[in-house]
Amino acid sequence: MESQNPWWYRESDRTYEEWVRKQVRWVPPVVEQFSFEPFSLNFLVGPRQVGKTTALKIWINKVLLPNVDPRAVFYFSCEELTGFRELGEVLDNYVSFKNGNRIKSSFIILDEITFVEDWHRALKLRIDQGVFRNDVIVVSGSASLEILKQKEYFPGRRGKGRDIVFHPLSFSQYVEALRNLETEKKDLMQVEYSMKTNRVHQGLLNELFNKYLLTGGFPLSIEEMYARNRISFETRKTYMDWLRSDFAKLGRNEAYMKEVLAYIVRARLTPVSWLSITRETSISSSHTTQAYIEDLEKLFTVKILNFLGADSKILYRKNRKIHITDPFLYDTICELVNVKPIDEDKLESVVATHLARKHPVFYWKNKTEVDIVVLVDNQQFGIEVKTTSGSWIKPKHLKNTLVLTRSQIPLFLASIDV
């Protein structure tokens, strides 16, 4: 326990020092949301390797330690714990340490708690006993599936707690992090105004976007691209191993996962049914297929777009479009399942998944198709990603639409407030 909290002994933290020494580094934008008050039980979720641990260590070292007693900051990575009793013992040990040093209020950060079996039991018991009544607790995990399910065990027990989703860097965040360029950003209904303002940066945005399509928003791939001008197989393997590991911990079959992912990328964003996927894979049940894809969504690997009717009713029985959530993940998954990446698919997915960070996102199709339909204040906004030549017929029921060509996508993504 003491080895994970070197600041108790006026020693430097290895993770933070490694971040300081990096050739390419940035403060993850999510850190701006870390304004917690006691008592609060807070949840931080996001994919693995997105930088959650680094963000927490930056927050500890840049924000907490300059302002509080170092002994009031307790960080613990739970990856090697197996059950709630071990977690309870860790918490009791820190509480004894805190009380012995007359610390009245503390920050308790439990990192990668997701796969500690029944972890909620250790926290719930001590919250009910009032052990943490003056504390801030931050629980971090890579699988929203498990954390969000366990949240149900804390009704009325979270105080001022909040939920924070840690996404990979969006393109506008990438631009700011790598070139210190803060673009003008508006919500979707006003995005064309900010696009006009940002057009002066078009050349730089295009240059950065070409790299973003390779690196996505993940730190490892970004750092390697800017240090070596390439992304190695070892870096891709890190993410492949993450996906395999988390799927295995959820009790899922890796072979089925690969078959499902292969089908998704081969479908090329054609709306599909659970049954159609089942027929083309070894999975025997469409319910199992649905569960696998929903798990992939909860692991932040894919985003499911349902059909939205002209009357704004979601038609769940219709086929759905399935996007890979990040361009680096898309390329990595294509390599995993031996499918050639398609630029047009990657571009549409980048737009759709960016918008999905802030708004409910769907699609529409009849005689014509609308790639992305966004609900903004109960109004439908249609976006067609037009990366090849050809006409597009605007549906009559859509008042607000935007057609994005290949050259407009970087400017749009740098101008949207997501």
Domains and CATH numbers, the chain: 2-165 (3.40.50.300), 171-415 (no CATH)
The dihedrals phi and psi of 361, each to the nearest 5 degrees, come to: -125, 135
Distance CA(47)–CA(141), nearest Å, equals 8
The dihedrals phi and psi of 349, each to the nearest 5 degrees, come to: -65, -40
Q: Which helix (H) or strand (E) holds 165?
A: strand 163-165
Cα dist from 293 to 272, 302, 343, whole Å: 12, 8, 23
Confidence (pTM):
0.93
Buried b (16+ CB within 10 A) or exposed e, 388-401: eeeeeeebeebeee
| pLDDT tens, N- to C-terminus, the chain (418 residues) | 789 999 999 999 999 999 999 988 999 999 999 999 999 999 998 888 899 999 999 999 999 999 999 999 999 999 889 899 999 999 999 999 999 999 999 999 999 887 788 999 999 999 999 999 999 999 998 765 567 667 778 988 999 999 999 999 999 999 999 999 999 999 999 999 999 999 999 999 999 999 999 999 999 999 999 989 999 999 999 999 988 888 887 788 999 999 999 999 999 999 999 999 999 999 999 999 999 999 999 889 999 999 999 999 999 999 999 999 999 999 999 999 999 999 999 999 999 999 999 999 999 999 889 999 999 999 999 999 998 777 788 999 999 999 999 999 999 999 999 8
